Amino acid sequence: MIDKALVEKLVADKLSSDMFVVDIDVSKTNSIHIFVDGFDGITIDQCIAISRHVEHSLNRDEEDFELEVSSPGLTENFKVVQQYKKYTGEKIEVLNSAGEKFEGLLKKSDEQGIILETTKRERVEGHKKKQLVKKDHNINYKDIKSAKAVISFK
């Protein structure tokens, strides 16, 4: 079986400063899946460069393998802190460990957690109609069950 640590090192060799590894999976059958992203996105050419580097560094005569390098899909859950940083200022959806779902603007992310601004209509004393009320939620990463970007076609 191909060593995952070796694959991680090979991928790290080809990453520029604005790119990051989201996930690397090496199965028992030597199927290698590498997910990389960048703060400005990632191009096909960057994926090809990583793929070629990994492929040429491993010996197919010793162990045959299948290799796939891509960016995580827009509908995939966030796995690393850098993804939260990338989507700062964007709408995301968060499911916390208590089962509560929040959708809002990711205002800030740091090493401990995020600040998510939600907006909803509520009755406010002194007003006949419901008013838009904004609320900030401080959520630690350990309390996040899943989070992903909200896709909007507006």
At which residue do the structure tokens 């904004």 appear? 134
Could you tell me if 67 and 30 are in contact, meaning their C-beta atoms sit under 8 angstroms apart?
A: no
The CATH number corresponding to 4-70 among 3.30.300.20, 3.40.640.10, 3.40.50.300, 3.40.50.1000 equals 3.30.300.20
Given a contact cutoff of 8 angstroms between Cβ atoms, the answer to whether 29 and 7 are in contact is no
Task: Indicate the fold that domain 81-149 takes in CATH.
Answer: SH3 type barrels. (2.30.30)
Reported as a pLDDT band with limits 50, 70 and 90, residue 153 is confident
Q: Which helix (H) or strand (E) holds 142?
A: none
pTM of this prediction exceeds 0.85: yes
Domain ranges, ordered by start, for the chain? 4-70, 81-149
Give the C-alpha separation, 91 to 101, whole Å.
Answer: 13
Span 57-76, mean pLDDT?
92
**Closest to 11 (Cα-Cα) out of 61, 46, 63:** 46
What pLDDT shows up at residue 105? 97
